[in-house]
Structure 1
Amino acid sequence: MPLSRDNASPLQQQIAELLRQEINAGAYEPSGKLPSEAALGARFAVSRVTVRLALARLAAAGVLERKQGKGTYAAGKQVRHGLDQLRSFHESLLAQGLHAEMRLLSSALVALPQAMGELAGAAQGQCLLLERLHLVDGEPIALGRNYLPPALAAMAPARIARQPAYAMLAELTGLRVARADLAIKVGLAEPDVARALGVQQGSALLLMERSSYFADGRCCDCSVFYIRPERYAFVLHPTFAADSRPA
């Protein structure tokens, strides 16, 4: 709907109302991120000051959330990680139609942490530790640390950077991950994690600990994901079995 220069309503009010209607219609799903001020200014043929006033009006009404250096989002929109299906972290983002990417921060052979038990192919107690940053619309959303069989270190760095852990395991072994045990906790951002995610040290984070297994019972992946909670939610849709009744 075009703006009316003859309308008694100020342009910023007209823009705010149009954006409100689009948000309510789900135009900015699934992430809820709106275009930049420059893009909105070009769309409506107005100055960035006018756009900024329109966005401020919606933010004051609780319709939008504006994050310095991150962008503008429809309030309350979260990335939703379904627990009903077994997917790698990156694949769960792609499955929602999000503009998701991974950035490899480090890759090294390290001693397998004793608390993680046994890992398939971890000769002499060594494993491959991958530290990768997960982003949605260019914004850091999680830092993942994957402890994987050391044979994966022979893969090309470009493939390690871009491929989800489960895809790499399938390529290496010809086997698919059959099950995973997940634990979801709350933790605080340590300095290195805080820097990577762009949050303050000590900020509350979601921690997802994951152990993945082949069908023969061998553990093939031990991972920890440090997740910004304000835009991330874990969801599960349980149903009662046909012969069961609620307690």
Structure 2
Amino acid sequence: MAQPEPKTKSERIARVLEAEIRSGFLHDGAALSSETALVARFAVSRATVRKGLGVLAAKGLIRTKVGIGSFVTYGGAVIDNGPGWSLALSEGETRMGVRILSITRQPMDLDAPQVAAAEVLAVDRLRFRENTGRALTLERSRVPWREDFAALLRTGLEQGSLSRELELRGLSPASGEEWANVLPALSVADAALMGRSAGEPMLRLRRLTRTASGRVVEYVESLLDPELFGLHMEF
């Protein structure tokens, strides 16, 4: 049965965007255009655009969180970036697996802003979808070295979680910074680790967290599949 014609401008906007979502033109995880862009596209007021988006939200086709700043979308779901996207995703509905590639004590090897540590605990991980085994991200975590990390080199991480190990040692993030950019080409080495083609573009996130006293907790560089993840900013 054909749907009734939309009666209002907001319903028309919702109808058009819903068709784009269901057709795959707006794929899973894609961020919608900004309100400003939608106002210009449909030649309506901002209030009308918001009503249209509200219709989509009510149908569960989009999710909007006002005032949270940057976040990562995956599979159409909004992930709270406060604790870090990977932790939030692992605690959500998506079945994620993690494979630890290496845990070492070594000199700092990443260009990490504001991290002056000569030696770090270095943890490299792959996260993948459990149902397909497809690698979603490659993460490199660097934590200023402490002697009580030595046991981790022998025993590994409890349940594969570095965040849990840091919390057990009183290292809880209270603030931080995050940078995002597109990495034009995946290196041959990283492509081999992720089972991808060298030269593929990737989304790169860099995240630095600190304790309440300003001490560096962790620096992480993550490479993410740009077809599945996207950044969105509300202001």
- 1:17 aligns with none
In structure 2, runs of 5+ residues without a counterpart are: 1-21, 23-27, 30-72
Q: Does 1:186 align with 2:182?
A: yes
Query: TM-score, length-normalised on structure 2?
Result: 0.59
User: Paired residue for 1:145, among 140, 145, 151?
Assistant: 140
Shift of 1:113: 3.9
Q: What's the % identity of the aligned pairs?
A: 19
| CA displacement at 1:178 relative to structure 2 | 0.7
2:199 maps to 1:198:
no
The Cα offsets for residues 3-57 of structure 1, whole Å up to 9 and x where unpaired, read as xxxxxxxxxxxxxxxxxxxxx7xxxxx99xxxxxxxxxxxxxxxxxxxxxxxxxx
Q: Which runs of 5+ in 1 are unaligned?
A: 1-23, 25-29, 32-76, 240-247
The answer (yes or no) to whether the contact 1:207–1:225 under 8 Å persists in 2 is yes
Q: Which has the higher contact order (CA 8 A, sep 6+)?
A: 2
SS across alignment from 2:121: strand
TM-score by length of structure 1 reads 0.57
- How far did residue 85 of structure 1 move? 3.9
SS in 1 for 2:227: helix
1:147 is matched by which residue type in structure 2?
A: R
Quote the residue 1:154 is aligned against: 151
Name the larger-Rg structure: 1
Judged with a 3 Å threshold, the aligned counterparts in structure 2 of structure 1 residues 234 and 170 are, in CA distance, closer, same or farther, namely same
Would the aligned equivalents of 2:175 and 2:212 in 1 still touch at CA under 8 Å? yes
CA distance in 2, matches of 1:115, 1:126: 13
Alignment partner, residue 234 of structure 1? 231
Structure 1 residues 114 and 226: alpha-carbon distance in aligned structure 2, compared to 1, 3 A threshold = closer
Q: Kindly provide the CA deviation profile for residues 72-121 of structure 1, in whole angstroms up to 9, marking residues without a partner as x.
A: xxxxx94468575411343121243111121111122121247425548x
Tell me the matched-pair count. Answer: 161
Task: State the distance in 2 between where 1:190 and 1:134 align.
Answer: 18
* Superposed CA RMSD: 2.9
1:88 equivalent in structure 2 = 84
Partner of 1:60: none
SS where residue 144 of structure 1 aligns?
strand
SS of aligned partner of 1:229: coil
- Does 2:159 match 1:128? no
Rounded Cα–Cα distance in structure 1 between residues aligned with 2:165 and 2:214: 18
2:207 is aligned with 1:210: yes
